[in-house]
Amino acid sequence: MLNRTDSVQAVDLGLTWDNAFERLGEGFFTRLAPLPLRGEAYWVARSAAMARELGLADDWWQVQGALPAVSGGQPLAGSAPLASVYGGHQFGAWAGQLGDGRAILLGEVRTTGGGSQELQLKGSGLTPYSRMGDGRAVLRSSIREFLCSEAMHALGVPTTRALCVAGSDEPVRRERLETAAVVLRAAPSFIRFGHFEHFCHSGRHEALRTLADFVIARFYPDCRDASNPYAALLGAVTQRTAALLAQWQALGFMHGVMNTDNMSILGLTIDYGPFQFMDGFDPARICNHSDHLGRYAYQRQPEIAHWNLFALGQALLPLIRQPDAALAVLQPFPALFSAELDRRMALKLGLPQASDGSRQLVQALLDLLTRERTDWTIFWRRLARQVAGDLRQPVTDLFHDRAAIDRLLLQYQELLAQSNRAQTADLMLKTNPGLVLRNHLAEQAITLARQHDFSMVQSLHDALQRPFDEQPEHADWCNFPPDWASQIQISCSS
């Protein structure tokens, strides 16, 4: 291990560590301690919900050494820091060996619910896998990841989590000079498709088997008794990924950089960079201005997920051994995705299950929303409120073509004819959020944070924990984005 903090006393936050990934052996990682931020570290934001899940005391952040510990300056007692190696396809091309280039896995801790979470410091300095990078994360990207991962969890989307963000005035060069930050994020596992690709492409098939057996034993135990456990693993990951993509599409969420090294083997949303929640609905929307060919446009996300699963299948083929068996579990993806998206769109209409009528209505609504670039979140929330009897902000006011929306609303009323109105409204209000993390909100919080005013970061985080509640105190955050929001450019450096 490169012992960058050996002379510093470890900080005990009362966490119970296990560190199962470490037991895979040295071929899977490099032991490496975090590199402390240069300059005095300071708190940017914390998630009380994540702290409770980890069993931390309410005042954990006031423990002596807590701030240095979550910013890389002091070791956490019980942790076993390391950087893992993986590979991946980036923008469709094989990129070779990658790895944790700016992240350090501290280890795995037990949670209050009986599960476990791996804790990782992102932005904690150079590793053997940094390639041309500097190993740092900037304040901007750390705030975005912290806010969005916790917001997605509150929306019910499988995701990595975040405990806190710490910053410093250490300069970091991106498109312009920025300052450094570290986000402490959490997940049951940070293993990606790219981990399997690395061991396959490097010909290390026994290590590939060790990794697959580890994932099956820990996260997919039902696969162990299958006639072909590794094909069963691929099938299970396919199902989870299809369900995740349906949730993204239903929320109007764009990941922005769906490389295979950014795809979780557990079907989690991982590596928040140039993400965006849709404003005016545009299926061809590209949220990453580094994506010059539109590979990761909103409407292409399901297709790309399927492509990535084929890359995972190729990586697992030395274990599956039967190409037909791999194809058999990959081919259902489009049908799985479509069925789950149909179900989620029906729920947005307040219907417990999809039908031919709901599918036809959804398609007609999508066509109209596309023509008029109607705000995705506001449209669905207004429709929910209207069904609930709130007519203060009519849905029809969102459209120029009143005749078209009137026809569709009439069709919708006919579809609801046999439904219980109160139950329908309740389901819609619990399905269609009023508040999501739009780019302009994150940008406003980041602008203040650059002036060492972190109040909006924390307030926005707290509000995003209640996305389905009416929040009149934050009415502006639930309103239309300002004109300048369309000029925000988010890149892979974000």
On the question of pLDDT at 120 being above 80, the answer is yes
**What are 419-448's pLDDT values in tens digits?**
999 999 999 999 999 999 999 999 999 999
Rg (CA), the chain: 23
Q: Give me the catalytic one of 6, 12, 58, 261.
A: 261
Give the whole-angstrom CA distance, residue 29 versus residue 63: 31
**What are 199-229's pLDDT values in tens digits?**
999 999 999 999 999 999 999 999 999 999 9
Q: Is 261 tagged catalytic?
A: yes
Q: How far is CA 298 from the centre of its chain?
A: 15
**What are 146-175's pLDDT values in tens digits?**
999 999 999 999 999 999 999 999 999 998
Nearest to 431 by CA among 251, 238, 308: 251
For the chain, the average pLDDT equals 96
pLDDT at position 1: 40
**What are 293-320's pLDDT values in tens digits?**
999 999 999 999 999 999 999 999 999 9
Cβ neighbours of residue 257 under 8 Å, at least 6 residues apart? Answer: 271, 273, 274, 288, 290, 291, 296, 492
- What is the arithmetic mean of pLDDT over 352-370? 97
Give the whole-angstrom CA distance, residue 333 versus residue 330: 6
